[in-house]
């Protein structure tokens, strides 16, 4: 039985497919459209996952969608009549609701043979399912926190075997995701998904605005929270979402009253000052206070040791790294795509496990679920690139074909030791927003100047944003204060003080690192590369950042080559081929 999961007409449109309960493929549409956070219909993503199973749409029995237009219908009606939001906001929401509700017709238009049953799954149930059903946990407390989806922003409960029991929700217009978005916009970061920038900025400031933040987010005795709504406008007509050309955009969600509390908002191109840094630090601290308030209440209510966490706010790796110390949960699972893309997987598994009652498959999943390319396809890409071939003829580039993985990883590790910037393009592309060793740029973490080199050669991003370490799993306890498995780079942990000087390129200003633990069984080739670097340097980790330049992570060999050629990257390793600048 094939179940197709879809996230459409929302940020990070995506598709996945499961066969008899096994996850076969998953990919975000942005990797094909080349527009970050693409929010339209995931046509190319659907085509890819069908191809991976060697089937057509005729073979799909169920389509699971991570939005339910009928969820909380009467609450929506009551809210509209009680609060009288502006007509533009109502029209905006109704248009989006209509698109989601008409997905069956859209599927029929694109694939005339389409004959599957379409099931709409509540947005937050899909989030929870994406974490719990992939966690391997038989029982767990479950929690989803994000901006909004199906009129809710937070959902808590318990997962057991094939069931998810909900025992608490926070409904529109109250949302921690909207709180974080409001402060992100206030600080001059207006792009969809810019919250991670403010998270990276927060360690540079002082948490001296907590009194003000606690006026904005009001913790409740029931373990949940409310927003102090006069500081916001998303419930009165602001915060409309659009996706012209596929790129999602959200209008301003904070009101003029926020400026009276925090001072004037930062202009987009205004220099970041001490006050801005303090706002970021205080906002991050307030977010953590609210999340740990929810999780502490959830633990008291469920007495579970395990936690399955999801939702867009579960991308806050700084807060995630403190869950073990701030709550009583002993085991925490956060999926590779905790945000809206992951809802495609969650919706599919909710249908398979909950609605159809099928037995869960006991399998540990990795994030390598996207397109992959063999050496023949890579060789064709090399031959067809005119700029590369001209450069080879002029002795600007050198191409070497390695005989095996041993030679490939040894040569690449040596180039890293020499201080070169490496594009590492191997195997199947990662699912989710993080580069996890298959579409990565890899460099030496020992060099303090490597962050500046990366920004100058490729990234051209804000200097305050940290870079991440990929570390061999068995060496985590030597470098970090907590021995935690973090395969999807979803937690920021403290690096031991005596190690700061050894790996300055991946040590943030507060002594932390957003690590990826690399196990041999999860990614043997990337493990071997780090192992080779370790053998040459005594350091069991490398700096890992996404293989891109202000664009979605590269998907194809052609895109990887284009990124290599237009930047100042030194080496690209694709399959068994190594291309170097001479």
- Per residue in 289-322, pLDDT (tens digit) is 999 999 999 999 999 999 999 999 999 999 999 9
8 Å CB contact between 192 and 248: yes
Phi, psi angle pair for 572, to nearest 5°: -130, 130
The pLDDT value given to residue 459: 76
Cα separation, 582 vs 578, in Å, equals 12
Q: Is 505 exposed, middle or buried (0-12, 13-18, 19+ CB in 10 A)?
A: buried
CA atoms within 13 A on the CB side of 125: 25
- Domain locations in the chain? 2-135+338-355, 170-333, 375-581
**Level-2 CATH architecture, domain 2-135+338-355:** 2-Layer Sandwich (3.30)
Residue 99: per-residue pLDDT:
75
Question: What is the model's pLDDT at position 206?
Answer: 98
What pLDDT shows up at residue 83?
Answer: 58
Structure tokens at 529: 């590369």
Q: In a 10 Å sphere around its CB, with 0-12 CB exposed, 13-18 middle and 19+ buried, how is residue 437 labelled?
A: buried
Alpha carbon distance 263, 269 (integer Å) = 17
Query: Tens digit of pLDDT for each residue in 172-191?
Result: 999 999 999 999 999 999 99
pLDDT of 462 reads 87
Bridge partner list, 139: 160
What local confidence, expressed as pLDDT, does residue 246 receive?
85
pLDDT of 569: 97
Structure-token pair, residue 556:
């194809």
CATH number at 170-333: 3.30.420.40
SS3 552: coil
Q: How far apart are CA 485 and CA 10, in angstroms?
A: 31
Q: What pLDDT is recorded for position 81?
A: 53
Distance of CA 131 to the CA centre of its chain: 13
Which pLDDT does position 303 carry in this prediction? 98
What are the pLDDT digits (tens) for 202-234? 999 999 999 999 999 999 999 999 999 999 999
> In CATH terms, are 2-135+338-355 and 170-333 the same topology?
yes
Contacts 24+ apart (CB under 8 A), 524-529: 525/405, 525/409, 525/426, 525/427, 525/437, 526/424, 526/426, 526/436, 526/437, 526/438, 526/440, 526/470, 527/472, 528/405, 528/406, 528/409, 529/409, 529/412, 529/413, 529/424, 529/437, 529/442
Q: What is the pTM of this model?
A: 0.95
Averaged confidence pLDDT in the chain: 94
- What is the fold of 375-581? DHBP synthase (3.90.870)
CA gap 293, 238 in Å, rounded? 28
pLDDT value, residue 85: 60
Give the pair of three-digit tokens for residue 531: 């192992």
pLDDT of residue 482: 94
Work out the percent of the chain whose per-residue pLDDT is above 70. Answer: 95
Write out the chain's pLDDT in tens, 582 residues: 999 999 999 999 999 999 999 999 999 999 999 999 999 999 999 999 999 999 999 999 999 999 998 876 556 555 655 555 655 555 555 566 567 668 999 999 999 999 999 999 999 999 999 999 999 999 999 999 999 999 999 999 999 999 999 999 999 999 999 999 999 999 999 999 999 999 999 999 999 999 999 999 999 999 999 999 999 999 887 778 887 678 899 999 999 999 999 999 999 999 999 999 999 999 999 999 999 999 999 999 999 999 999 999 999 999 999 999 999 999 999 999 999 999 999 999 999 999 999 999 877 789 999 999 999 999 999 999 999 999 999 999 999 999 999 999 999 999 999 999 999 999 999 999 999 999 999 999 999 999 999 988 887 888 899 999 999 999 999 999 999 999 999 999 999 999 999 999 999 999 999 999 999 999 999 999 999 999 999 999 999 999 999 999 999 999 999 999 999 999 999 999 999 999
């Amino acid at each position: 039985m094939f179940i197709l999961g879809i996230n459409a007409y929302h940020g990070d449109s995506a598709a996945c497919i499961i066969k008899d309960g096994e996850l076969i493929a998953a990919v975000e549409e942005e990797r094909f459209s080349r527009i970050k956070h693409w929010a339209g219909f995931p046509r190319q993503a659907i085509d890819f996952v069908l191809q991976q199973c060697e089937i057509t749409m005729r073979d799909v029995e169920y389509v699971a969608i991570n939005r339910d237009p009928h969820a909380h219908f009467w609450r929506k009606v009551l809210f509209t009549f009680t609060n009288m939001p502006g007509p533009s906001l109502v029209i905006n929401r109704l248009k989006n609701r209509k698109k989601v509700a008409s997905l069956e017709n859209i599927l029929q238009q694109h694939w005339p043979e389409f004959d599957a049953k379409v099931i709409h799954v509540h947005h937050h149930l899909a989030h929870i399912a994406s974490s719990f059903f992939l966690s391997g946990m038989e029982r767990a407390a479950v929690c989803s926190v994000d901006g909004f989806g199906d009129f809710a922003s937070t959902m808590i409960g318990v997962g057991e075997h094939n069931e998810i029991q909900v025992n608490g929700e926070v409904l529109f217009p109250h949302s921690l995701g909207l709180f974080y978005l409001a402060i992100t916009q206030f600080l001059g970061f207006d792009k969809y998904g810019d919250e991670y920038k403010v998270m990276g900025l927060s360690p540079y400031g002082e948490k001296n605005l907590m009194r003000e933040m606690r006026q904005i987010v009001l913790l409740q005795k029931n373990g949940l929270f409310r927003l102090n709504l006069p500081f916001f406008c998303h419930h009165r007509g602001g915060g409309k979402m659009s996706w012209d050309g596929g790129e999602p955009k959200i209008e301003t969600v904070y009101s003029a009253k926020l400026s009276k509390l925090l001072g004037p908002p930062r202009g987009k191109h205004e220099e970041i000052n001490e006050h801005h840094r303090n706002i970021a630090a205080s906002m991050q601290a307030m977010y953590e206070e609210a999340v740990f308030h929810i999780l502490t209440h959830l633990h008291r209510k469920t007495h579970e040791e395990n936690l399955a966490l999801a939702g867009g706010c579960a991308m806050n790796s700084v807060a995630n790294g403190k869950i073990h110390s701030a709550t009583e949960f002993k085991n925490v699972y956060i999926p590779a795509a905790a945000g809206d893309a992951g809802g495609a997987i969650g919706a599919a598994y909710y249908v398979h496990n909950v609605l159809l009652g099928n037995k869960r498959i006991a399998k540990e999943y990795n994030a390598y679920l996207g397109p992959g390319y063999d050496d023949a396809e890579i060789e064709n890409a090399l031959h067809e690139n005119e700029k590369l071939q001209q450069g080879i003829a002029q002795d600007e580039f050198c191409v070497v074909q390695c005989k095996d993985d041993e030679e490939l990883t040894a040569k690449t590790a040596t180039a890293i030791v020499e201080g070169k910037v490496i594009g590492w393009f191997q195997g199947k592309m990662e699912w989710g927003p993080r580069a996890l060793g298959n579409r990565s740029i890899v460099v030496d973490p020992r060099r303090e100047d490597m962050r500046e080199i990366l920004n100058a050669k490729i990234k051209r991003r804000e200097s305050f944003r940290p870079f991440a370490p990929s570390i061999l799993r068995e060496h985590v306890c030597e470098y970090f204060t907590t021995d935690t498995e973090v395969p999807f780079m979803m937690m920021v942990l403290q690096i031991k003080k005596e190690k700061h000087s050894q790996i300055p390129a991946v040590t943030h200003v507060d002594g932390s690192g957003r690590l990826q633990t690399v196990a041999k069984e999860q990614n043997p080739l990337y493990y071997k590369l780090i192992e080779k670097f370790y053998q040459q340097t005594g350091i069991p980790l490398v700096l890992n950042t996404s293989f891109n330049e202000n664009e979605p992570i590269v998907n194809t060999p052609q895109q990887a080559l284009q990124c290599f050629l237009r930047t100042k990257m030194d080496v690209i390793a694709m399959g068994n081929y190594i291309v170097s600048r001479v």
